[in-house]
Each structure stands twice: as C-alpha cells, then as structure tokens.
C-alpha cells in the first residue's frame, strides 16, 4: 500500500482529552458570552512553541471554566466526534475528569451523562464512528476523589464509559498510592486502565503504573526506552503506548519530531498507537498526526501497518482484535 494513504484510512484516536479538543470557535463563543474580550481569548487557544508540560497544562485553566454546563459538555463532545470522523477516525476514546466540571452546579452524574449524550447524538447523526469515554483522576487528588471517579465510571459503564485514567503533571507530586485500591475495584468491575506515565517522568513511573495500577495502556510513555525492565514488563503484559507526536514535542517530552522514540519503541516490540491528545491547543487532528509520523518521524509502510492495527487491538472494548507485534 502507498504509505501516503495511511493517514486517510479508518483509524483510532485513543488519547483525546475533552477539554483539549473543543473547537476553537466554540471556545471563542463561550468565552465571549462570559464577557471575555478577544485579546484575552486567543493566547489561551494554542500552545505554539515548545515548552514544558506545566506550561502546556496551563491552557486547561482557561478552557475548563467555560465547560461547566450540561449544554457545553454535550456540544463539545458532539463536535469532537464530528471532527474525528471528518479526519478518518472510526473509533475514539474521549477522556476527562468529571470532578473539574462541577463548578456550575452539575453533579458528577449529570456531567458524565452530558458527555455520553453528546457522543451518542453524534453517532446517530453521522454513522460510521464509535465513541467511548475514559474518566480521569488526577495526580494530586486523594483516595476520596479517586473513589468518586471510579464510582462514576462503574455507574456509567453500560452507557459507554470503558476505562479510567490517572492524568496530570508527573513532576514533583507523583504518587499512585491513592489510586491503587480504587483502580483495582474498577478493573474488577470490568473497566480498563490507562495512566499518564513516562511523559515528563522517568521510566520507573511506567513500571509503577503497570505493577501498582494494572495499567493496560500508558499515556505517552516516551521515556520507556530508558529502562529495559519497563520494556520487558510492557511487552510481557501487552501494554499499549498512546503516542501523541505534536504534544510530545510541545511539552518537551521529546526535543523534536526527528528524536521522537516511536520507531525505536516499535523496534523494541512495544504496542504503540498514534493519537492527538489535545487538538485545540496543538492545532492538530488525527490525519495530521499520522502525516507527521510518516514525514517527520519516518515511519515505514510496515510500521504504519503495525501502528494502525495496534490502534484497534488496544481499544478498550471487549471484542478488540489481538495485538500485533513488531518481531525482528
């Protein structure tokens, strides 16, 4: 197959944040309605030059206050599905922390239901794309908050929540202990586990995510090659890696596209996928991420085929196909 066709084949986007994937025009509309002037909107809508993860995450502080109503959450979810399908996605998993969108008076149940309703409406209107939800707990939260997130995930499992995640900045406050028991309960209840690890932290964080949380996928994981133990553990347990090229460069997780470890991770037998992370801030889409992986990172046609298959094998669905290994 012509390597240039891969960005346009049906694909997955498994690492996609609700609050980082709203349309720019939708955020502008919401901000203007709250009396925010245009000059105080635009700097928050794009990352631009590479920086640190902390600088990248600061953009969420502008968007989140604009997402505190049922209507806003449902509309954003609908538009994310619509945009993903426009760029050839067949399956997406939208993740968010429901505890961060309750300042307008919503309950956690109302917030999760609003997102699920937006996804369901888009699926019904569009056809040809399937969307599911992953609920996030955050680094720095305690056991109580983690239990609440897991409660919501289990309660909405039948409606489209398929997993739970630990997100946030790894530097300075990395501590998985509050999440261990809640996530064990989530896994026992049939939910899948992912965890942001090895993005701006060492490969030991990846090992802890797998061993302590039972993570079946790792968000980013760009530092994994620094530990043979992390590589072997991930291979042994068929753990997937949610690579996000643009945001990995913008957060400083990697120094450039040319230095991105995606190809070396594949060569090490790791099940890597390509994802968008935050299309709003990174000004990207899933087709663009694939084009970058081919043109800048240098994926071959064989590697593209493996990554494409990995996307579907790593879906948090019961009937996902078996993983594909890059055996050399």
* Catalytic residue list: 199
Half-sphere exposure in the Cβ direction for 160 (13 Å, CA): 21
User: Is residue 158 helix, strand or coil?
Assistant: helix
* Residue 254 DSSP symbol: S
Please give the C-alpha separations between residue 198 and each of 7, 45, 53, 321, in angstroms, as whole numbers.
26, 26, 12, 26
Alpha helices in the chain (DSSP H): 24-33, 53-57, 60-63, 70-86, 108-126, 143-155, 177-188, 203-213, 228-236, 245-250, 262-267, 279-282, 286-292, 301-313
d(CA 206, CA 225): 11
Which residue in the block uniquely carries the two structure tokens 């992390």?
230
């Amino acid at each position: 197959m012509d390597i240039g066709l891969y960005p346009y084949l049906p694909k997955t986007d498994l690492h996609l944040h609700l609050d980082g994937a709203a349309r720019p025009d939708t955020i502008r509309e919401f901000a203007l309605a709250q009396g925010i002037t245009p000059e105080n909107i635009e700097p928050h809508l794009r990352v631009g030059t590479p920086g640190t993860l902390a600088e990248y995450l600061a953009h969420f502080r502008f968007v989140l206050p604009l997402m505190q109503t049922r209507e806003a959450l449902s509309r954003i979810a609908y538009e994310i599905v619509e945009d993903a399908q426009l760029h050839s996605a067949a399956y997406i998993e939208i993740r968010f922390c429901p505890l961060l969108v309750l300042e307008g008076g919503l309950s956690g149940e109302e917030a999760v239901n609003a997102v699920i309703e937006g996804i369901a409406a888009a699926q019904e209107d569009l056809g040809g794309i399937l969307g599911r939800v992953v609920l996030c707990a955050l680094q720095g939260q305690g056991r109580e908050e983690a239990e609440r997130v897991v409660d919501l995930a289990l309660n909405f499992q039948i409606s489209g929540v398929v997993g739970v995640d630990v997100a946030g900045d790894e530097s300075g406050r990395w501590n998985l202990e509050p999440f261990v028991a809640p996530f064990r309960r989530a896994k026992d209840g049939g939910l899948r586990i992912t965890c942001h690890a090895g993005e701006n932290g060492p490969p030991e964080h990846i090992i802890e995510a797998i061993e302590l949380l039972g993570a079946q996928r790792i968000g980013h994981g760009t530092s994994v090659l620094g530990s043979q133990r992390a590589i072997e553990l991930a291979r042994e347990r068929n753990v997937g890696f949610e690579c996000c090229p643009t945001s990995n460069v913008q957060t400083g997780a990697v120094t450039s596209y040319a230095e991105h470890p995606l190809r070396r991770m594949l060569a090490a037998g790791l099940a890597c996928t390509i994802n968008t992370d935050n299309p709003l801030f990174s000004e990207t889409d899933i087709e663009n991420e694939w084009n970058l992986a081919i043109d800048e990172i240098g994926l071959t046609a064989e590697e593209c085929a493996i990554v494409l298959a990995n996307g579907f094998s790593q879906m948090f669905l019961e009937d996902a196909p078996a993983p594909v290994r890059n055996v050399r």
